Structure formats: structure tokens, C-alpha cells
Structure 1
């Protein structure tokens, strides 16, 4: 958000409040990104200590969501922002909700992966690895786009979710094959399948954050529109 003109307000205090809430949401985004990175590491290694770290930090993510949301509510009540200022506060309030849910998904993946230790085999890990890296990259890119409120980047990242969906379908097919080959593996594979679904949902959350960037900059709500409709709307 470096290109945002926060100095336009008469009230220097209002500028400081907007800058503070901006910094808080980016700090939360950084922690959530770290959570996902660690959860994917646990998925590969089964590191119980790292899994416990992810689980413990989930409470910190939850606290950050509450405090940022409370600050957004306070700004709206006290400052009564309009136009782009109001859209900025609303975009931040919505984004922290999605970030908190991404954090929840990371925590669940880490918990499941630690419990799976000793029951996994290499095929499961390979099925998840590529999808995990795609999701991790998408989250990193969307946080960068949100920081800069970059509409072009948001549009590009928005389209990336289809790749996550395709990867999820590929993982499902591969895990189904494992289950048919070894029915005894079904309980553990169902857990891995659930983790894959969590990664797919993280992609959806990233897509939501892209929509908030577009809403703030362009003042257009593109939810529930296909990409052709979005491109026509933003012309």
C-alpha cells in the first residue's frame, strides 16, 4: 500500500490510524504465511515440535483478527470514513477474516500431519507437495498485491485459483488410487485428502483477498462474476 495517499486527510491522527491498521493486517499476513510454510514442512517431516508451534501460534492469529476488526469498527464509528477510505477499512476487515481462516487451515494441516507420522508413505507426500507449493506461492503473491493494492496483480492471482483446483483434483485421483491398491490405508489417506481440501480452500481465500483489492481500488464488487464479466466491468 505504499502508493496509497494517506496524507490527504486534514486529521493527522486519522492518517496514523489508517497506517496503523494497515501495518497490523500486513503483520497478520506475514504470520499466516509463516503458519502455512511450517504446516507444509510438518506435512513432509512429521515434526511434532514444529506442529505444536503452528498450533500455538494459531491463537495469536485469532487474537490479531479480533483486534484489527475492533480497530476497523472503531474507525468507522469515530471517523465515519467515506468513498475510498471506507472501502479501505472494509477491505481490511474482510481480509483479516480470510487470513484467520487460512491460519485455521494451516493449523489443521499441521495437527493432522503430526498425527499421521509413521502412517504416511512417499506417494502421499508427493501428491501433496506440488499442490502445497502452489498454494504457498499464491498466498505470498496475494499478500504482496494487497500490500501494494495492485489491481493487475490481483487479477492475475485471481486466475491462479483454477490451477489450485486442478491440482486438488489430481491429488484426489492419486489418493483414490492408493486406497484401491491398499484398502488398509483408507483411514490415513482420508486424513491426507482432508488436508488437500484445506489447501484448496486456502486458494479460495486468496481469491477473496484479490477481490477486496479490486473493490478498494476500483469500487467494484466482482464476487460471483466470471473472469469475462470482471474484465468487462473493469474496462
Structure 2
């Protein structure tokens, strides 16, 4: 569906725009599920689920290819301008971020297999920060996708501003991991695997923030990347 309220005389064009947006949101749902399953595999020490997440990454990549094809077709055949062009560009950028989030979910699943496929179980203290960070990252992604579905600028700005909380949690978790490794060098192997997981969750938050910023651009026509929180908040009021 076009962002413009005027509508299009060519109904097929409207349908193509709507199909692209639906495809992106469907991809977002799949990526959300990948994150949830990867984290659940960690909590349940479930190697089978972890391996399923790894194997299913090709499905995420398939959405990436399909969306790219749709974007190219729309740009080449429709030569969009104005709000329609912003919609197509925003969807293209969102797909790129979703594909990278899928990669991060796969990375978490791979670390799960490293941790629990060995001869010794990890010290549970090493894992203490993963669940909390995973909840923050998953909530950011869900909120960004919800803002995209609803074209909700206020929600998008709220999500974009929330990235600082996840960054703070990452820094705290990193300091604790370093402390564990210094106090007990036997934890280094597992600690490095956990480090990769919390870094993946921090990156998921970054990508979710990007998606939220695309919503602001889509609705307001303002590029709010690389701006301060104060400027971002002001963009929603303008």
C-alpha cells in the first residue's frame, strides 16, 4: 500500500507496493522466531534446536533475494518518486538489516553448539547476562517491525532511543566476562563463546534501531541516521 493517501490509478502498482511491504514484514517475523529459538536453545541446552536455527538461515537468505528482486523490478518498471520511492528504499534497507539480524541469530545458535557439544558444561555465571540482553534486543526488533507495520513514528523513535540501554547492558556484561576470565582461566573458552553471543545481541539492537530510523524517513521524509537522541526526538515532532 502506498504511503500517499491519494492512491494510484494503476491498482497493480499499489498491489506491488503492498506485496513488498508484506514480504518484508513476513521476513521480519521469521527473523524474530530465529532469535527466540536460538536463545531458547541456549536456555534449554538444546543442540537440536540450535542446529535447526543454523540450517534455517537459508530461508532468511531466500527472503532477502526475493525482496531484492521485487525492489529492482519496481525501480526499473515503475520509476517511483516521492513517498513511493521512500517506501521502496526503506523496504530495501530494512531487508538488508533483517538478513544481518538472521546472521546474528545463526551466530548465537553456533555458539550454543560450541558450548554444549563439548566435554564440560559452562559455568552458569557466564550466561547470566544473555537472557536479559536477548529480551531487550527482541523487544527492540519487535517494536521496530510493529512501527513499520503501523507507520508509527512515535514508536519508531522510542525504539531508536532505546538502543542506549542495550549498549549499556553489553558493556556491563563484557566487564563481567573479563573478570570471570581473569579469576579463572579455565572459563576462557566458554567465555569467548558467550562474548560472541552478547555481541550478536548488541548488533541485533543496532539493526533494529536502523529499521526504526527507516520508519521515520519513510513517514517524515527525514534522514535521522547519525543524529543525537535530542535531534531524533525533535524529528518526530516536526
TM-score tier, shorter chain, comes to over 0.9
Q: Show structure 2 runs of 5+ residues with no match.
A: none
Asked if the contact 1:39–1:54 (Cα under 8 Å) also holds between the matched residues in 2, the reply is yes
Aligned-partner SS, 1:8: coil
- How far off its partner does 1:4 sit? 4.5
Query: Residues 131 and 168 of structure 1 are in contact (CA less than 8 Å); yes or no, is this contact kept in structure 2?
Result: yes
* Alignment correspondent of 2:36: 37
Q: Which stretch shifts more, 103-112 or 131-140? A: 131-140
Against the structure 1 CA distance between its residues 166 and 56, is the aligned structure 2 distance closer, same or farther, given a 3 Å change threshold? Answer: same
Q: 2:13: which partner in 1?
A: 14
1:6/1:19 contact within 8 Å kept = no
- CA distance in 2: counterparts of 1:38 and 1:232, whole angstroms: 37
User: Across the two proteins, how many residue pairs are aligned to each other?
Assistant: 234
Q: Which residue among 165, 168, 191 is the counterpart of 1:166?
A: 168
Give distance in 2, aligned partners of 1:116 and 1:190.
10
Instruction: Write the mapping of 1:199-218 to structure 2, written as runs, cut at 5 A.
Output: 199-218=201-220
RMSD after superposition: 1.6
Q: What secondary structure does 1:120 align onto?
A: coil
Between the aligned partners of 1:7 and 1:101, the Cα distance in structure 2 is 35
Query: C-alpha distance in 2, partners of 1:6/1:44?
Result: 47
Cα distance in 2, alignment partners of residues 233 and 28 from structure 1: 28
Alignment of 1:133-148 (within 5 A): 133-148=135-150
Decide whether the 8 Å contact of 2:114 with 2:193 is kept in 1.
Answer: no
Query: Is the counterpart of residue 110 in structure 1 residue 106 in structure 2?
Result: no
Deviation at 1:184, TM superposition (A): 1.2
Q: What do the CA deviations read for 1:19-50 (whole angstroms, capped 9, x no partner)?
A: 11111111100000000001111221221110
Map of 1:23 onto structure 2: 22
Greater Cα offset, 84-93 or 48-57 = 48-57
- Taking the aligned partners of 1:183 and 1:121, their CA distance within structure 2 comes to 12
Q: Runs of at least 4 residues of structure 1 off by over 4 A? A: 3-7
